[in-house]
Amino acid sequence: MEITAEDLPALLANDTAVKLAGVDVDGMLRGKLVSKKKFLSIAEAGFGFCSVVFGWDMHDMTYIRELKVSNKENGYRDIIAVPDLNSFRRIPWENNVPFFLVSFFDPDTKAPVSACPRGLLKTQVEKFAAKGYAAMAGAEYEFYQFKTPSSASNGAPSTAAYLRENTPQSLPPLTEGMFGYSLTRPVHNKDYYYDVFNTCQAFRCDLEGWHTESGPGVYEAALEFGEISQMADRASLFKYVVKSVATRHGITPCFMAKPRQGLPGNSGHMHVSLVDASSGNNLLFRGEPDPDPPYPDVAYLSDLGRHFLAGILEGLPDVMPMVAPTINSYKRLVENFWAPVTVSWGLEHRAASIRLIAPPTAKPGATRFEIRVPGADANPYYVLAAVLALGWRGVERKLQIPCPPLGKGEDVGGSSDRGVRLARSLREANDRFTRQGSIAREVFGDEFVDHFGGTREHEIRLWDEAVTDWEMRRYIETTIAITLADGLPAVVDHACAQLALLQGARRELRGAEGPLDGVVAEAGRLAAALNLVKEVAGLQTGEIGRHAQHVMQRAALLASGLMLMAAEGRRAGPEPRALEPGGREWAHVEALRDELRELRDELAGLVRGVNVGLVDGSARDGYRVSRRELVAVNEKVKTVLGVELRLAEGLKAELEGQSVAYAGSPAGSLPFKNTFAFAFGQPFQIVSDFVPPEQRLRRTEPERPIFVDNKSDRTLTFGRISKDALAVAAGLLALGLDPKDTVKLPPTPTCPAGPEIAPIVLIQLPNCLPFAPVLFGALAAGLTATLVSPALTSAEIAWILQNARPRAIITATACLPAMKDALAQQQDAAFFSAIPIFTVDAAADIYPDPQPAQPPASPALRSPTDWKALLTAKTAPPSTATGVLLSHHALNFSVASLWHDADYHRATPRPGQGQSQRQVWLGYVPFYHVFGLCNVFLLAVAAGATVYTMPSFHLETMVRAVQQRRVTYLHMAPPVAVMLAKAAVVEPYARGGAFASVVAGVTGGAPLGHEVVEEVYKRCGFRVRLGYGLSETCSTAMQRGIGEREMREQAGDTGRPHWGVELMIADGRRYAKKAGEQTTAAPVDVEGEVLVRAPCLLLAYLPVGVFSSGSKQPDMSVTEEALTADGWFRTGDVGALNADGRLRITDRLKELIKVRAYQVAPAELEAVLCSSEAVADAGVIGVYDQSEATEWPRAFVVPRAGRKNMSTAELEKLAGQLKALVEQRTAKYKWLVGGIVFVDQIPKSPSGKILRRVLKNGGEETKGVEVKLYEKKRRDAKL
């Protein structure tokens, strides 16, 4: 249907913007987004568009020779861009924004710009239309696809960044091997495969066929046949679709003509036919076979068709740059690779330049020519314009076919091939294209040929000046290329040699002494810095090594650029060449100098960031150095680079002759990224600071199962989560939630810029499959998610609502009554009544559905440097704070440090279990709790693990799942470990080998006695490791090793700090209150408050009323008390660090029982009680004795046999046994003077922490049988 300007207001009624794009000479789309108002005003007359799009190449480098259309002389003037209203379509992956193609016109003559591809084709189409003819066309594109790798320097998935550090040949193909027309290969990437097909249809680029081609990762698409101008549009837009869709799937498509040596290239075949414009009848078909044809192959080809074919064959050698436009195009056009190399044709001949498709092998209406010379890199408008122009020339001149057809089985270029050899290079092709009297000039005119020929001269010139990897390998006079495999010193030597070349080139240039001398000086400083790295082994880290290799590569390019300037001077005369002040080359030299300076500054930052630690310790913990070496190296670093080495706190103390309770090291490099982008960006695929070589993983394919519902086996794949999360993100943004609408808090030690809080989305879901797209969707949208337990009462939810003031709520159906009740309790009814509430029926919803609908386009991801990601709600908060604010970077860092230390991943499997890089876990630890969130939920996505989710915990269901799912690593709260050690239901499973696949387990959230760890090991055959962390710090420390020896050596401790985490025990004398002060540390093995410093710390506690206090300054007192000025978080836990850096937690400061002048840790007594075979669980609190003005320890004990199954006498007997056990194992002031209460269960939070406030306040959980163990001494009154 024809679209007119009058149709536009209705067509765009619901839109606010329009995207416009034109096509440049390289076939690339160049355009912009404009407002709807602007578009409606220019829809008919057009608008000014900078002509520089025809004055520069595909990398925006202006052409070496100024060309007529756009140049410095005409000021790169504007040309007129006129929208083609009939090209209207909507971009499905960009929220269906309207899209129009434009054509470019000369502002003076109003004629199409000579180089405009759409205008060039339109001119040829009009020639045929004048005779009542119409041209039809189809296109077939082959293209390679590579998995988008991550850059080693920043961890981000980026092919461009990766290629700065690696060779193109190292790009991993999407699939391996050669398998054309495979039905199974697309299954490996089926989400991408169908996404391309469906998106093309939605974007009006319909595909007729879509299949694999012969080659690793090669696909071929056949575009639907249609009118030739529309076909050219669709061909151009098809590449746009593929590149856009591929980005969402971590894939990089490549339309180069020949990406890989020794393999077939990428063709871009065009099918062309002529029809009657009125009737649509095919004009190439003869009707009746010619009884006396010049060649049997053309018996059914009309005279018009024969002339048309003759015109193409005669003119093809003269238009080769239009169909093979790049240097690389001619690497495809070589013998023996199914590519045409001569002027040749033949009926159904698939190696000739022109394949005639006609009866008797085809239907009459399908008679056409397949032009097989173009590659996938060609501009489709130029190709089709060339075919029409040459064919029309043949028709007008009634040319005869100049050479016989190739027969069946005859090779192109063989002895029977009488056709002219096509150009072997772009230089040869362009010389023929631009020569005076060429057929190209005849059919297209001088202006177009001079312009396009000039652009190809530019391409040839760049190729002539390029130094390729092949040349370096062949002529460098070494046996192998220099890479990091040769060692960093070799890389440094080669980099310095390249830098030295700059000095030689400088001597042949003059007139820019300041910039040129600056280049030489900066090159010398950079070489000195590299040689320092070479000299000091401790500085030769992987990141510095990669930077040195980058310097080597950049220095070679910079040197070649400067030498090129010098060479041009030598051609001009014997004197050194003078550079003009302010000229382009002068500016280039200044930029070169600045780049060298930036390379040195970056190296200085990397050296400054090297962790320098104590001389005795693991090499993985950082650079270990003696005091004497440190002084010498530090002085050199200061002299050469102007910075000082980073010293760990422990080393500072060691240099001062102290021995303090410090462990860990400052963090290494981790890129700042949105947590959605980090988790789905394959962060563990490339070796980096947080991925040691032994922890590197294979790429997670889109179809890998990540979350599987344990009950129904419904599966969420890696690719599906990503897609659905982006759909959720788009939905949240569509509600009007603006991630830029932030509330800013005052600066804190962990966020000097001040934390920012985007609109909050409250998520209250159990562990279920929808949890993944919901949480990742909120994070991807740049919003703040607050995670709330489904077990909370309406009063607890009301407290969170009042202070978090969420802008959207996503809750489980079962939680909806409590949520509504909580909302009804709010005073600000106007605000809370407007909050959209979405429910998820975790028990009944069938998600994911078998055939998902097309997801909405992905929203733009906001940068994590906005310092907002997650708000962990606190249901029993301090009076001035309501939750913990964590950043994207904190979550990412926690996940990275967990994987860095994931020794279970590389553990030797149990007999008969095989070896696999992929993990299988259970997901019953709540995802809304920081332990489940970081250790299971986020880590599973980042590492490609499979998690079988459970909405709640049931012991036998869990044990059965371990056996059936062959779980490799078991996450648990301490009560679960106690059950595994003592519950009778576990015994038959343990004896039957249910835990054979489990390498190890980890527990956190509350203390666990070593006796329980020993019992689990004896019974189930695997070690439960203790971990330590808080909502405010994420995962902090963990025991290492999985064997029995490590288990016994580490009895009683909580492990060493994770990668990048620092631990210190405060001596209590001084906590840093202002900048410049230092918190003082306790000695080794002395108890004190545990302090943590790491990038995974909270940014702040959320102040009460921060969203409703107006201009009132937020109360940050709780944050100020928790964070010291030097960046330490005060955990409130009491512990000690031994000389090996292992942490031992004794208790919470607030939970210590004060017995006269002594402090008693409840956790210690609980461990003693649980060591008894007769005890299933225990909790200890202090009870105040007013008569003695002190507290006494009181124990609540769950008998293993069950309280209700025991008589009073049996309970009293057990109490006596436990009394004796405590007296035997502890000091007298720790005895249970407060008595023992036998109960049915110990009240605990979902994460496994004992709810001591419930034990103290009383309630149903504390009712039981109380047994007094000690009689008070009677004191006689004095008269």
The answer as to whether 1114 is a domain residue is no
Residue 254 pLDDT exceeds 80: yes
CA angle 487, 491, 493 (to 5 degrees): 115
Domain that holds residue 52: 5-113
Q: What percent of the chain has pLDDT over 90?
A: 49
The answer as to whether 1276 is a domain residue is no
Give me 275's structure tokens: 């029809």
* CA–CA distance, 386 with 390 (Å, rounded to integer): 6
Other C-beta atoms within 10 Å of 62: how many? 17
Q: Strands 760-764, 808-812: parallel, antiparallel or unpaired by DSSP? A: parallel
Judge contact between 115 and 83, C-beta under 8 A.
no
State whether 504 and 552 are in the same domain.
yes
State whether 690 and 754 are in the same domain.
yes
Domain holding 83: CATH number? 3.10.20.70
Predicted local distance difference test score (pLDDT) of residue 388: 98
Predicted local distance difference test score (pLDDT) of residue 689: 79
Query: Whole-number mean pLDDT of the chain?
Result: 84
Q: Strands 946-949, 920-923: parallel, antiparallel or unpaired by DSSP? A: parallel
The answer as to whether 1116 is a domain residue is no
The confidence band for 519, taking pLDDT boundaries of 50, 70 and 90, is confident
Which range (619-623, 681-685, 1018-1022) has the least confidence? 619-623
Residue 1247 pLDDT exceeds 70: no
DSSP class of residue 61 equals P
State whether 449 and 516 are in the same domain.
no
Q: Report the range out of 1189-1193, 1206-1210, 1254-1258 with the highest average pLDDT.
A: 1206-1210
Residue 397 pLDDT exceeds 80: yes
State whether 458 and 496 are in the same domain.
no
The confidence band for 308, taking pLDDT boundaries of 50, 70 and 90, is very high
The DSSP code sequence of 523-539 is HHHHHHHHHHHHH-GGG
- pLDDT tens figures, 941-972: 999 999 999 998 889 999 999 999 999 999 98
Residue 871: phi and psi, rounded to 5, are -120, 110
The answer as to whether 379 is a domain residue is yes
Contacts of 1153 (CB under 8 A, 6+ apart): 1159, 1160, 1161, 1162, 1180, 1181, 1182, 1191, 1192, 1193
Predicted local distance difference test score (pLDDT) of residue 460: 94
Give the torsion through C-alpha atoms of 921, 922, 924, 929, to 10 deg: 0
Judge contact between 266 and 376, C-beta under 8 A.
yes
Burial class (CB in 10 A: 0-12, 13-18, 19+), 849: exposed
The confidence band for 435, taking pLDDT boundaries of 50, 70 and 90, is very high
State whether 1007 and 885 are in the same domain.
no
DSSP class of residue 701 equals P
* CA–CA distance, 457 with 531 (Å, rounded to integer): 42
State whether 1132 and 1230 are in the same domain.
no
Mean pLDDT of 471-475: 65
User: Amino acid identity of 430?
Assistant: N
The answer as to whether 122 is a domain residue is no
| Number of domains into which the chain is organized | 7
Which range (74-78, 79-83, 196-200, 864-868) has the least confidence? 864-868
Which range (8-22, 80-94, 593-607, 800-814) has the least confidence? 593-607
Of 55, 78, 113, which residue is a domain's last?
113
State whether 424 and 291 are in the same domain.
yes
Domain holding 1171: CATH number? 3.30.300.30
Domain holding 1070: CATH number? 3.40.50.12780
The answer as to whether 259 is a domain residue is yes
State whether 454 and 599 are in the same domain.
no
Query: At which residue do the structure tokens 């012991």 appear?
Result: 955
State whether 65 and 145 are in the same domain.
no
State whether 96 and 179 are in the same domain.
no
Residue 1274 pLDDT exceeds 50: no
Asked if the bond preceding 360 is cis, omega within 30° of 0, the reply is yes
State whether 1134 and 1260 are in the same domain.
no
Burial class (CB in 10 A: 0-12, 13-18, 19+), 627: exposed
State whether 458 and 589 are in the same domain.
no
User: What element of type H or E holds 1002?
Assistant: strand 1000-1003
The answer as to whether 96 is a domain residue is yes
List 663's β-bridge partners, or say none: 1063
Which range (168-172, 696-700, 864-868, 1167-1171) has the least confidence? 864-868
- Enter the pTM of the model: 0.50
The answer as to whether 262 is a domain residue is yes
Of 608, 629, 644, which residue is a domain's last?
608
Domain holding 707: CATH number? 3.40.50.980
- pLDDT tens figures, 552-588: 667 666 766 666 666 655 445 555 556 666 666 777 7
Nearest of 1103, 1110, 1120, 1122 to residue 803 by alpha carbon: 1103
> Is 913 or 1029 the better-scoring residue by pLDDT?
1029
> Is 859 or 192 the better-scoring residue by pLDDT?
192
Give me 554's structure tokens: 């950049």
